[in-house]
Structure 1
Amino acid sequence: MKKWVLLTIGILVIGFVGYQYFSTKTKSQTASAQVRTANVQKGTLEVKISGSGTVQPVTSEDIKAKDNNNEIDEVLVTAGEEVKEGDELITFTDGSDPITATAAGIVTTIAVSAGERVTSGQVVAHVTNYKDLETVVQIDELDIPKIKKDQTVDIKINAFPDQTYTGKVTDIAEEGTSSNGVSTFDVTIHIGKPDNLKVGMSTEASILTASKKDALYVPLDAIHSSNNEKYVLVTSAADNSQSNGGTEQQMVKTGLANEDYVEITEGLKEGEVVQLPQLATGTSSNNTRGFIQGGGFGGGNMGGMGGFNRSGGRQGQFSGRTGN
């Protein structure tokens, strides 16, 4: 009999502990499913379009002979030697005009030697300038109309993840390359100070296509649509406890946007609180996928509500700075 009493007490204790555990877990899940909110923020909105590529030299030239059947008297440089534009490289026994460097850089190859004869158009040397670098990135055809010469570019190098280089757009290809029904265009970006960079390193370029100060913005998932109109759910000041009540529908007009944030051009004021959709249980409450400095990530116009472009680049970024 005593054994059965102890067994019964043990079962009751285990049941009680299990009840407490599942009750606590249920409460935690309920709390995590509460409606989220976000403040309407104000800052500088910078719209960027990104593309990937590699570091390349601006100057990489073959040096060619202009005369035919001239005999080389002397080769004045060796591979690896630095030259300036106009420096003599090769002289001829008949005293004709020497072959000179067409650009500054490093002589990477010498293909002839003294006593040989050259033919017109023959490559006799190659010069590469490793101090003047650029990157060529591929941009989706939907984004290429937004790219203009002299636009500012932030450049990340995979080999130096903690450093950002700057550059400017110098050329936009007139012809694209099509793959699987999607066309991309080469955009050439001159790198301002290419310290420590080497030809062939991988790059990720973010091209600044638009900038707007004092922009109001909210997370993209705060926007709802109905009958071709957009609205948000505004939470009253007395109901900031993230409960499900106390909201009203407010029609808004939108501007710049991407997959994270959208600009509000009409309908809201800075500091107002908007309701965000519920997160699934166990999902992080952090609704951002980028960084915020008084801003966040931003992108193309609101017509398509932003998103990734088809070439895999991020279609714009907020690089916001808190407005006064």
Structure 2
Amino acid sequence: MAGGDFPPVAVATGRDREADEQLLKKQKPEPEQPQPQPAAEEAVGVNPLNPRYSEYDPKQREHVYTRFCFDPRLDLNKESPYGPMRHTHKTFGEGFPLSHSANILSVKIVSSDYGYPLNVYGTVIARDDLDRKCVYLFRRDKKNRQSITSEDNSLILTGPKRGLALCGSLFFEINLKVKDVHGREVKDERLSKGMLQINGIIRQTSNFEYGVETDMLVSMHSTLEMNFAFVRDAVEGTVGIRILEGPVDFHGKIIATTTRVLCETVLHDSRANGLLTAGNNQVMQTACRVVCVSVGEMLLVTVAPEGGDELSHHTVSSTCYASENMVCGNYKMQLKVTWSIVM
């Protein structure tokens, strides 16, 4: 046999040929099945944090904490049972230590990867030193989204329902989503998700300067801005307004300010919240009704009916129960502030 020559090959019969074809099929490798693509968080590695409290943030390009993680026994979704005015009728001795607090003035989406307008839903939750359970500042589902048309729009806050107790730190969990933008669905509905913290210990020093403070959360597909004011030795004022005479529906704005930090806490704004209809006993259920002030401060409540030139300013002391009647535009109202310590 000459070098390189192959031996003669016999012609196979029909049955042998069929058997050979079957053998070739068995020997031929199976085509590769498409494998599922790894998620973004898997693509950058294993989550080094506890997955119960964290997830991957595409804007930060790392895993971040999105939930309160310091108490493994805590039910993260349980709402705090404590409301306002819990200690209104209790007496405390002189020198009783008071808790500090903070007033949350506004929460805004000041930058959006999706642009504007946005239809936002989700939650903003506060966890204070009283029980670390959920105190809602903002809560909307998909069917009740808020339209955000620009970076100047604030979320319509409906809380906190009571004064927030601040001894160590306040923690805030933000979980905001968008369903669609400009009529099209988005791949990632997570608009803003993460945590913010107000450290009360560093703010308790005697040389702390009071004023409006700002904290930012850069996460997911946006930048969120929270404006707040720290309140030392806080008492909680629950504002109630009753219509004595005039239209049942209120169109206008109701705001509260304190004498130490002249910043507005919006209790109601009919342009954002819609008209306010008096309920039982003609009492108006404002979106927010709790403001904290330091002992010795004054609380200024301003009622401004829409279209009217007259504003009614009423100042009440933070150390006493107050109820006053006022005439404001076409309305005669009774303003009542009920006080309680924060703890």
After TM superposition, the score normalised by the length of structure 1 is 0.22
Structure possessing the higher relative contact order (Cα contacts under 8 Å, 6 or more residues apart) = 1
